[in-house]
Amino acid sequence: EGGFPKAETLKRIKELKGCSIDWLLTGEGEPFPEQQTQAAHDTLGNPVNTEDFVYVPRYAIEAAAGHGSLVANEKPMFTMAFRKDWINSMISPEVSGLSVISVKGDSMEGVLNDGDTILVQQMNHIRRDGLYVLRINDNLLVKRLQLMPGNVVNVISANEAYPS
């Protein structure tokens, strides 16, 4: 009554459940150490280290390539994995403020098409010419921005049916 289990009992629990005898006796360590390291594999079946990835939230939000799309306080649907080395080569060194969203509309047709999925990094400034998702009030628009002399920014659609 109220004592430690017998060695045979601990051994039987280990055999049946696969848990650590040390954990059963002391409560220290991991109860199932073999299950702590789950191997991840790429699509070719090669092992990968999950620490080599950045996990970016995927939102059910659309950046309009045409007319604006209302954005509420969205919660991510899930996360998407991107290799850290690729992320670091593509965007600025501070890997923060990343999200994955969809494109809606045809104003950027040929560059970004309706339904495309895009990776976005939040920032409050324009670093250089390129594609940007603009937040105007509660609307998101995806456009090409061109920096001009005199602090002028051209907002350009790829589809000629939409004026700059």
Q: Whole-angstrom Cα distance, residue 64 to residue 59?
A: 14
Residue ranges of the chain that CATH labels 2.10.109.10: 53-156
Which stretches of 65-97 are assigned E, i.e. beta strand?
Answer: 69-70, 78-83
Q: Whole-angstrom Cα distance, residue 11 to residue 25?
A: 11
In this structure, which amino acid lies at residue 107? S
CATH class of 53-156: mainly beta
Which stretches of 12-149 are assigned E, i.e. beta strand?
Answer: 40-41, 47-48, 53-64, 69-70, 78-83, 98-104, 117-121, 130-136, 139-148
Q: Whole-angstrom Cα distance, residue 64 to residue 143?
A: 9
For 75-110, the pLDDT digits (tens) are: 888 999 999 889 988 876 565 788 999 999 999 999
In this structure, which amino acid lies at residue 99? S
Closest CA to 136 of 63, 75, 76: 63
| pLDDT given at position 94 | 62
* DSSP class per residue in 12-26: HHHHHH---HHHHHH
For 104-159, the pLDDT digits (tens) are: 999 999 999 999 999 998 888 888 899 999 888 878 889 999 999 998 999 999 99
Q: Which residues contact 124 (CB under 8 A, 6 or more apart)?
A: none
pLDDT at 1 over 80: no
Q: How confident is the model at residue 34 (pLDDT cuts 50, 70, 90)?
A: low
Q: Determine how β-strand 117-121 pairs with β-strand 98-104.
A: antiparallel
